[in-house]
Chain A
Amino acid sequence: MAAVIAFILFGIGILGLVLRRDLVIKLLALGLVNSATILFLVSIGDRPGARAPIQLPGDVAILADPLPHALVLSAIVVNFAILALALVFVMILVERYHTTDSTRIEQEMVRETDEEEKPCS
């Protein structure tokens, strides 16, 4: 069932990404999409009656599968990295166009000719 929740969250994230025009909220929605994926992966490692995957010699309890957990650790970091960079880019764009509205930034960009386009400070 956790998997279904993960897919629902994925969908909510995409809706946020498409319908909200604020760039910061778009990034939050992207973060939600990534989190949903991670939730799905963790839900795979879980199985009924399992324990956390910490084992001592001679221990025979059923453990949750550690491999998805290990994958997810990497994925979380990668998502953070992408998010931080995207946020920086949003900051630079907003400093130039004074709006976080993606549609308006697109319009501004169309209006600007190539000569006008100067590197951002």
Chain B
Amino acid sequence: MQLILLPLLRFVFAILTITFSKARKPLTILSHLLDALLLSQLVLLLLRGTPQAFTVGGAPVGLGIPLIGDQNGLTFAVLAWVLSVAVTSYTWQDGLRPYFFLLLNLLIGASYALSFAKDLFTAFLLLDLSTIVSFLLVGYQRRPRQIWASLHYMILSSLGMSIFLLGIGVVYAHCGTLDLSLLEALVRESAGESWVHLASALLVAGLAVKAGVFIFSLWLPSAHARAMPAVSALLSGLVIKMGVVELFRISVVFPIDLPLIVLGVITGVLGVAYALNSYDIKRLLAFSTLSQIGYILIGFGAHTDVARLGALSYEVAHGLFKALLFLTVGEAAKCAGGSHISVLTANSHQIPWGTRIAMTVAVLGIIGLPPLAGFDAKAILEDGLSSVPLHLIVLLMSVGTVMSFAKLAPVLFARSTCRTCRSHVLSYGWLAGGILLFWPLSLLLVPPNVNLHAMTFAHIAEALIVMAVGSGLYMSIRRRRFALPMEVFRMETSPLIILLGFFLVYALIALGR
């Protein structure tokens, strides 16, 4: 019951905030409290070993929409709640219209529903709902570039969703159901048949567009960099992950481990390369999101339980620090008058110190300082990887991340006297607390034996060496720009690149047989 109430109540609150717009603040608080209550009930059920599961409206098996409150889903739902609290408090005093809160509530409701729904078509609708909502959120300030980015985003994700729907069609033609738990057995029965390959390739290619996978998500950098900070935080922390969560769901049923790993590596490496080359901080954050998605995909693709737990923790950790980074950088850019690194450095004294402390915590989190969020999640993830080359690639990505964030150092260490506004402090504190206390909190998700293993000397030493090497390399190549193709981000090429990506995925699936 809680499973269906969580999204439905959010939808009700969404409409109430616009109908009774004067009471929107109490309504928002109430909705968050209710969500907390329902979520904690679900978590308790899960910890007791009896996760809630039922079919919506009591429809027969195979036809209705099954909901299940398993570990993967609940982790994402809790992340959605945490980010929703952070963004709400960040925008508390900004005087945004009820329209904004309506969209926010719908987005959170859609994330809840997606975390629990184990049905392909429901996932399609939820992803589309999230596309439309984030489409409107990106263009909220009506700047032409935001609108252009929104339009690009919408065209590509509509194309992606069409490809996904083709995949759904192929699956339905052969199985007669869209329920993922039933599909598992049916697909295994006909493993190796050509329709399985076709369906998996279509589903993966379609979802990859939404999931921030590099060759597919060409809309992502411009949309994330152009939106306002609170929206960017949600897009990076939540909306992209909706695609990733669904990719993981599918990876249990369809044989897509190899494409997931390859896509993860491509995304990770190219994302880091573009991030290194970006000197506009918001753009850097957007590209870094791509590279971070790489870790999560590799974790899911490795198909071991520890790697899965690592990917889940990384999903949460990335949600926390990327949201915090977007929020703080957004405020800093507003105070300094621009988000380019040189502007930020020059006017760094105008950035409030509270913001800078929060930013420092987030940066330390993302580059993996023990025992913060990034370190813990990455360590668990690495424990789950068995192959040496993958290990090396993950290390390379970590070094790249350190290098790209080393640019922020002059901004972080400066003097200033301004103060952060109170509603922002609350939001920063909430997220920074999550990053700092990630290790103890993650015991809820990760069994203690795995989690303790992450805190070994080898991992700590590795993290410190990565940080040292990364900053050293940054010092040596500082400010040297290298040319990377930007042509791929244009509207004229991106649909073709998505098709090429489909071919790649298809080839990998056929190979992986």
Check whether chain A touches chain B (CB < 8 angstroms): yes
Asked if B155 and A86 sit within 8 Å, CB to CB, the answer is yes
Contact A105 B128 (CB under 8 A): no
Instruction: Identify which of B144-152, B210-218, B324-332, B453-461 touches chain A.
Output: B144-152
Give per-residue flags for A87-107: 1 if the beta carbon is below 8 A from chain B beta carbons, else 0.
001101100110000110110
A29 to B150, CA, bound (A): 18
Q: Is the CB of B150 within 8 A of A119?
A: no
Whether B165 pairs with A21 at a CB distance below 8 angstroms is no
Within 8 Å of chain A (Cβ to Cβ): is B289? Answer: no
A33 contacts B by Cβ under 8 Å: yes
Against A, the Cβ 8 Å flags (1 = close, 0 = not) of B159-188 are 100100110110011000000000000000
In the assembly, what is the distance between CA of A33 and CA of B495, in Å? 11
Q: Are B169 and A78 in contact (CB under 8 A)?
A: no
Would A106 and B490 be within 8 Å (CB), given that A30-B155, A85-B135 are in contact?
yes
Contacts A81-B132, A117-B144, A120-B143; A30 near B159 (Cβ below 8 A): yes
Interface contact A37-B172, CB-CB below 8 Å? no
| CB atoms of A120 and B132 under 8 A apart | no
Interface on chain A toward B: helix, strand, loop, or mixed SS?
A: helix
- Given the interface pairs A96-B144, A109-B144, the reply to whether A82 lies near B158 with Cβ below 8 Å is yes
Contact assessment for B143 and A85 in the assembled complex, using a CB-CB cutoff below 8 Å = no
Whether A37 touches B144, Cβ cut-off 8 Å, given contacts A81-B132, A82-B158, is no
Residue of B with least CB distance to A26: B155
Is residue B444 within 8 Å, beta carbon to beta carbon, of the partner chain? Answer: no
Q: Cβ of B131 < 8 Å from any Cβ of A?
A: yes
The residue from A71, A86, A112, A119 contacting B141, defined by CB atoms under 8 A apart: A119
A68 touches B169 (CB 8 A): yes
Is A18 close to B, CB under 8 A?
A: yes
Chain A residues numbered 21-57 whose CB sits less than 8 Å from any CB in chain B: 21, 23, 26-27, 30, 33-34, 36-37, 40-41, 44
B169 touches A41 (CB 8 A): yes
- A89/B165 contact (C-beta < 8 A), A18-B492, A30-B155, A30-B158 known: no
Q: How far is the CB of B26 from chain A (nearest CB, A)?
A: 31
- Output the nearest chain A residue to B62 by Cβ-Cβ distance: A67
List of A residues within 8 angstroms of B162 by Cβ: 10, 33-34, 36-37
* List of B residues within 8 angstroms of A109 by Cβ: 144-145, 148
- Chain B contact residues, CB within 8 Å of chain A: 63, 121, 124-125, 128, 131-132, 135-136, 139, 141-145, 147-148, 150-151, 154-155, 158-159, 162, 165-166, 168-169, 172-173, 338, 490-493, 495-496, 499
With A14-B496, A18-B496 given, can you name 19 additional A-B contacts, CB distance below 8 Å?
A10-B166, A14-B159, A17-B159, A18-B492, A21-B492, A30-B158, A33-B162, A34-B158, A44-B172, A44-B173, A67-B172, A75-B165, A81-B128, A82-B158, A85-B132, A86-B158, A89-B139, A112-B144, A119-B143
